[in-house]
Amino acid sequence: MKYKSQRVAYWFFALSMLLLSLQIIYGFIMGFAHMGYDGLHSIIPFNTARAVHTNLLVVWLLSGFMGAAYYIIPEESENELVSVKLAYIQLISLAAVGVTAIVGYHFNYWEGRKFLEIPRPLDWLVVLNVLTFLGIILATLYKGKKRTTTALVLTMGLVFAALLYLPGMIWFDNQTMDSFFRWWVVHLWVEGVWELIMGGILAFLLIKITGVDREVIEKWLYVIVGLTFISGILGTGHHYYYIGVGKIWLIVGGIFSALEPLAFLAMALFAVAMYRKGEKKHPNKMALNWTLGTSIVSFVGAGLLGLAHTLPQVNMYTHGTLVTAMHGHLAFWGAYGMIVFSIISYTMPNLTGRKFFDSTTGQLAFWLSNIGMLGMTTAFGVAGVAQVYLERKVGIEFGEVQTEIQVHFLILVLCATMFTSGIALFIYEFIKYGRPTEEALAPSPMKANVISPVI
Amino acid sequence: MLSKSQAKIFFLGGTVVTFAIFLALSWTSLSHEVPKRTHEENLSQQVIKGKVLWEKNNCMGCHTIMGEGAYYAPELTKVYDRRGEGFINAVLTSKIPWQPRGRQMVAYGFSKEDAANLTAFFKWIGETDLNGFPAKPDLKK
């Protein structure tokens, strides 16, 4: 680590890992409920488990992105964070708002709008929190010596993500209007501005790990984020097929969302090409695994599996079935879960000074979590496709179909156990690293560059 | 070969153009299509109260409506046509968990008034033009 204030990132990553662990627990509750074992129904009914599971996902990923920004922005702008104290206050308030929301879900304190269940009064605290975060990042960037493309793309993604949260806070009497603007938040986040955040982190990691010239990497970063917005903004239309708006969205949404995989394909080709072009001298093999992994798994999960059911003719039957859960799991894991794991793997040796660059535990964590998640995706896919044919095509009643496909949830839970083992090992490694130390701090940014140009 | 500044123009230009088209299409949809397709004139206070109850109890956390929600309980867009008012009322006012095939619903035990509000919400949403969703099962004999 070159700047003392970068150590703030560690605590955001720690919060991220804690919330991920909780998210997995609630995932198991739902998996068992789908198998017919909902023993916790009276305390944690399915809708509570579901709201907690998806909201924890959003908060642990945001915490990971914030940690990434607190690490990357000082290094890219060559300046300490303007206020470390404020960053810690922001961390505590993020955890407090998240925990309050999640506890509230157990007591019917929520707004039943998928992914946006946080009640509006708490939304204002989220806004305040994010404004504090952006204030620190923007002021650091403004006072910094440099404004690199990587830092700007990452910051742009974070600023847009904050702005796009606002349409979701407006109340509408009409369900169609409500849904229309809910997707401005959810879709334009995950298939828009979050890809900028992912692209920014990916570019930073590739510059550090491969040693390829920054200008080359940042040029392709522009192309990737350009493809993301060109396809993703109008691709929002794939959520508008059947919510009470016109047929024009069937055409626009169909065409542009079919182009969305291009951004992920470009990201995968970009990462692999930069790795091949690079020096292959960087010792941090785990960071390399996760970085190449995220670019490839995101293409499969977000790109290909999204394409599989995005055309209106297919989506007419798959919309609102477990096919969506199939795509959702691998997409979120590949694109956003794994990029957070990549930046953690890269930064931990730099923050703590302990160089566990390549360990059996780390390798096992990578493979178990990825194979487990692929298995879960397959189980969701088989259950989803069976549901589509039995319920939507043949017309068998919903409950009867659910009983028929219960067995696939046994496979899902087994694969989820494998996934969880991988995550547990990753968290074990995280804890083993210990906390950031003074010794990890390079004497001066200039000297650090001389001693270790690639780390 | 593409230069960095050309790549930047591709990003910024592409974003501005597609976002402008997106805003124009959204405006057309919301101002012209939604009022007609959703029969906004039928959006009574009772329907709105039903929507508030729908959100307050996170029904979307198990069910789907217009295909949106969780996938644990049935799709409810056309539930008014499919099941009728009596059935819906019985489920909503039940004091013990409704559990078809063992899968339990929370026993909300709604008052008659609340159940009527939710039913009005289901009736209203069932009349919305959703471009043919949900599709009729085409392999049903």
pLDDT tens-digit readout, B118-140: 999 999 999 999 999 999 999 98
Mean pLDDT in chain A? 95
Q: What is the pLDDT of residue B100?
A: 85
Q: What is the pLDDT of residue B102?
A: 83
- Arithmetic mean of pLDDT, A55-82: 97
Structurally, what CATH architecture does the domain formed by A4-439 represent? Up-down Bundle (1.20)
Instruction: Give the distance from residue B6's alpha carbon to the nearest chain A alpha carbon, in angstroms.
Output: 9
pLDDT tens-digit readout, A140-175: 999 999 999 999 999 999 999 999 999 999 999 999
Q: What is the pLDDT of residue A47?
A: 97
Please say whether the beta carbons of A31 and A412 come within 8 A.
yes
pLDDT tens-digit readout, A189-226: 999 999 999 999 999 999 999 999 999 999 999 999 99
The answer to whether residue A279 scores a pLDDT higher than 90 is: no
With cut-offs at 50, 70 and 90, classify the pLDDT of residue A452.
very low
Domain boundaries, chain B: 1-37, 42-141
Instruction: Give the distance from residue B102's alpha carbon to the nearest chain A alpha carbon, in angstroms.
Output: 7
Q: What is the pLDDT of residue A442?
A: 76
Contacts B118 to A, Cβ<8 Å: none
Contacts B57 to A, Cβ<8 Å: 47, 108, 112
Q: What is the pLDDT of residue A250?
A: 98
Q: What is the pLDDT of residue A280?
A: 86
Domain boundaries, chain A: 4-439
Q: What is the pLDDT of residue A97?
A: 96
Q: What is the pLDDT of residue A232?
A: 97
What is the 3-class SS of chain A, one letter each residue?
CCCHHHHHHHHHHHHHHHHHHHHHHHHHHHHHHHHCCCCCCCCCCHHHHHHHHHHHHHHHHHHHHHHHHHHHHHHHHCCCCCCHHHHHHHHHHHHHHHHHHHHHHCCCCCCCCCCCCCCHHHHHHHHHHHHHHHHHHHHHHHHCCCCCHHHHHHHHHHHHHHHHHHHHHCCCCCHHHHHHHHHHHHHHHHHHHHHHHHHHHHHHHHHHHHCCCHHHHHHHHHHHHHHHHHHHHHHHHHHCCCCCCCCHHHHHHHHHHHHCHHHHHHHHHHHHHHHHHCCCCCCCHHHHHHHHHHHHHHHHHHHHHHHCCCCHHHHHHHCCCHHHHHHHHHHHHHHHHHHHHHHHHHHHHHHHCCCCCCCHHHHHHHHHHHHHHHHHHHHHHHHHHHHHHHHHHCCCCHHHHHHHCHHHHHHHHHHHHHHHHHHHHHHHHHHHHCCCCHHHCCCCHHHHHHHCCCC
The answer to whether residue A451 scores a pLDDT higher than 50 is: no
Give me the residues paired with residue B64 across strands.
B69, B75
pLDDT tens-digit readout, A15-55: 999 999 999 999 999 999 999 999 999 999 999 999 999 99
Q: Is B34 on the interface with A (CB under 8 A)?
A: yes
- Among residues of chain B, what percentage have pLDDT more than 70? 100
Angle A149-165/A46-77 helices, nearest 10 degrees?
150
pLDDT tens-digit readout, A291-311: 999 999 999 999 999 999 999
With cut-offs at 50, 70 and 90, classify the pLDDT of residue A450.
very low
* The two structure tokens encoding residue A454: 């690639």
With cut-offs at 50, 70 and 90, classify the pLDDT of residue A443.
low
pLDDT tens-digit readout, A91-134: 999 999 999 999 999 999 999 999 999 999 999 999 999 999 99
With cut-offs at 50, 70 and 90, classify the pLDDT of residue A449.
very low
CATH of span B42-141: 1.10.760.10
Q: What is the pLDDT of residue A412?
A: 98
In terms of Cβ atoms closer than 10 Å to its own Cβ (0-12, 13-18, 19+), residue A404 is middle
The ipTM value here is 0.97
With cut-offs at 50, 70 and 90, classify the pLDDT of residue A439.
confident
What stretches in chain B show pLDDT beneath 50? none
Chain-chain contact of B70 with A114 (C-beta, under 8 angstroms): yes
A and B: number of Cβ contacts within 8 A? 211
Instruction: Give the distance from residue A227's alpha carbon to the nearest chain B alpha carbon, in angstroms.
Output: 7
Chain-chain contact of A173 with B51 (C-beta, under 8 angstroms): yes
